[in-house]
Amino acid sequence: MEIEEKIAGEITISDSPGETLRKWREEFKISQLELSKHLGISPSVISDYESGRRKSPGVSSVKRIVESFVEIDRSRGGQILRRYNSGMPSDAIIDITDYDHDVPLERVVRLISGTNVSSSGLNRSVRGYTIVDGIKGILSFSYSEYNILYGWSSQRIIFFTEVKLGRSPMIAIRVHPLKPAAVVYIQPDRVDDLAVKLANIENIPLINTDLNVKKIIEVMSSLK
């Protein structure tokens, strides 16, 4: 897999392989303990590699470590792999998760203290969510890359941060054939009439929330 080769190569040729290993482990959101259990070694070995107290791992060890990153991520739904394999900037998608069951949208809106500013009803279910940095996403995504926002199903909520007026996200959704079950703006500056009008045309509930990203992730992760 291309991403595995990229990571392994970067660690191997780095002037500070331990630091580079730690960077990728943290990018995959894997703890030292989780990685060590997957590899069948002591957590202190990972710590020593990353701190430079132990000689840098050889090529075969790096290969095993990188394979562990990938296997652990796949066991969680593969969100980091999808992000990189899409060619999308790693920091444009803040979080992406799929559920194996339906979650009522009304329940989600209640949990995030959301306000529906559109005329579309909340009587529908979702099977996942994606949190996008609104500015980075709008500036960097190509038309084809928008597909990655939908994970395994378009029956999901797409959350946008850094919303000024709310027009750009809704315009992007309007022109793309895939439509989410709902759109949520996280702490928007304000939402103008055009954004609401586009949401109504597409019959997509448009919701505002004052919760921050960290709290949103906590709430949405609890629904898995």
Average of pLDDT values for 179-204? Answer: 93
The pLDDT of residue 84? 67
Fold of domain 90-221? 3.40.1390
Fold of domain 2-76? 434 Repressor (Amino-terminal Domain) (1.10.260)
The pLDDT of residue 89? 47
CA distance 43 to 61: 15
Are the C-beta atoms of 208 and 182 separated by less than 8 Å? no
Please say if the pLDDT value at position 33 is more than 90.
Answer: yes
Higher pLDDT, 178 or 223: 223
The model's confidence at residue 90, banded by pLDDT at 50, 70 and 90, is low
- B/e letters for 141-176, b = 16+ CB within 10 Å, e = fewer, are beeeebbbbbbeebbbbbbbbbbeebbbbbebbeeb
User: Over the chain, what is the mean pLDDT?
Assistant: 86
The pLDDT of residue 125? 94
The model's confidence at residue 67, banded by pLDDT at 50, 70 and 90, is very high
Provide the phi-psi class of 21: left if phi over 0, else alpha when psi is between -120 and 50, else beta.
alpha
Of 15-19, 89-93, 219-223, the least confident: 89-93
Residue with tokens 């202190």: 44
pLDDT in tens, 130-179: 898 876 665 555 555 566 777 777 889 999 998 888 888 888 888 877 89
The pLDDT of residue 143? 52
CA distance 57 to 46: 10
Kindly give the interhelix angle for 17-27 and 2-13, rounded to the nearest 10 degrees. 150
Q: From the CB of residue 60, how many other CB atoms can be counted at a distance below 10 Å?
A: 8
Please say if the pLDDT value at position 63 is more than 70.
Answer: yes
Average of pLDDT values for 86-102? Answer: 74
The pLDDT of residue 83? 65
Q: Where are the domains of the chain?
A: 2-76, 90-221
Q: Which of 94, 119, 114 is nearest to 104 (CA)?
A: 114
pLDDT in tens, 106-117: 999 999 999 999
Q: Which of 74, 84, 122, 117 is nearest to 5 (CA)?
A: 84
Average of pLDDT values for 82-99? Answer: 70
